[in-house]
Chains A and B, each alone.
Chain A
Amino acid sequence: MILNGEPVGGFAGETVAAVLVRLGLHTDARGVAVAVDGEVLPRSRWETFALPEDARVEVLTAMQGG
């Protein structure tokens, strides 16, 4: 699995929520969004969506920006 551009192991089959927890984020965190294979994965599916082994996952959060 590619997580934020880096190959990572050990996440296959886990839910997005579990990945967020491992990243140190709360699943109810405001300002967090997740894309899987170039599509938004809505917050409502974070607890149930199991990530395939070859998934490309982007976990984004609020940053200062103009």
Chain B
Amino acid sequence: MADHSRPKRATIAHESNGRTPDAPISPSDLPPPASGIPTPDASFAAPSPDDLTIAGRTLRSRLLLGTGGFPSLELMAEAIAASGSELVTVALRRVAVGESQSGGSLIDVLADADVQLLPNTAGARTARDAVLTARLAREAFATDWIKLEVIGDEDTLLPDAPELLRAAEELVDEGFVVLPYTTDDPVLARRLVDVGCSAVMPLGSPIGSGMGIRNPYNIALIREAVSVPVVLDAGVGTASDATLAMELGCDAVMAASAISRAEDPVRMARAMRNAVEAGRLAHGAGRIPRRHYARASTSDEGLPEF
């Protein structure tokens, strides 16, 4: 399968990462024509112009994957491979006392998948709990990266803004790379970046709801408001939601339930991968303006008269 998507991404490099507009692109900047599936060698190649960079770490995939909800670890591993994702979330929970332990296998499967771990603070309801969970995650997974979640409502699982901001500030002070799950409020996003967050992860709609992006206008405003990567998190239900996020200028999309609870998680993982790439390309390609009336695509010049 010829893949025409990769060479063109040079022209849209970093424009929505808030970085400087690009210097002229030389042919050597263009990635070689490639098949859609990176070879192992390709993953060690020099960063291509459209890689995603968060806190100095380069990711070739703009799809982040949640590991929750998969019916089996085997399906999870297959879906990770199909998604192309290089950054996947994990949670911390109590070891069951008095039961045989199988907890190691998740870590083993993820190690085999050759992905980087993004621990989350899922379950935290206060800044204090979130900070402690982050410290434990750093100990457990040997990473400073943390997807910060502080939930303020049991029905909607919406973030608790004051607690979130407080926890973010404390964790940044402790040297964490903080990626907060936040509301679609541009002002809160800016405040989170002001305290040092390395990305923001606004919700499209409540976690696991599959309602897509309820307020595209706010997501676009967030992209304008901050200079760090914006990762659309939560609410993605199907591929078109991920594409819309990217068309709005998001730098990446996080998908969990949309993939893991789909009837065919592996197929949906592949769909999300293509959707993110399509949206990214469309965003960089410069869409036509919406018009009220038609505009003929065929010229009237030379039109015969009968």
Contact = CB atoms under 8 A, between A and B. Distances in A.
A39 B132 CA distance: 7
Interface of B: 66-70, 76, 89-97, 100-101, 103-104, 106-107, 111, 120, 122, 132, 135-137, 139-142, 207-208, 254, 256-257, 260
Contacts of B136: 33-35, 40, 58, 60
7 contacts: A6-B97, A33-B140, A43-B139, A60-B136, A60-B140, A61-B101, A65-B91
A60 B90 CA distance: 12
A10 interface: no
A29 B104 contact: yes
Contact of A65 (B66, B104, B135): B66
Contacts of A12: none
A40 B94 CA distance: 14
B68 A24 contact: no
A9 interface: no
A63 B139 contact: no
Contacts of A40: 132, 135-136, 139
B140 A63 contact: no
B69 A66 contact: yes
Contacts of B111: 30
Interface of A: 3-6, 8, 23-26, 29-35, 38-40, 42-43, 58-66
A33 B101 contact: no
Given A30-B140, A61-B103, A64-B90, 8 more contacts: A4-B95, A30-B141, A58-B136, A61-B95, A61-B101, A66-B89, A66-B91, A66-B122
A6 B257 CA distance: 31
A64 B97 contact: no
B257 A66 contact: yes
Nearest to A20: B95
A62 B107 contact: yes
A50 B109 CA distance: 33
Contacts of A59: 94-95
Nearest to A5: B94
A65 B140 contact: no
A3 B99 CA distance: 13
B95 A25 contact: yes
Contact of A58 (B69, B94, B103, B107): B94
A8 B90 CA distance: 28
A53 B273 CA distance: 52
A30 B70 CA distance: 21
Given A30-B141, A31-B104, A66 B207 contact: yes
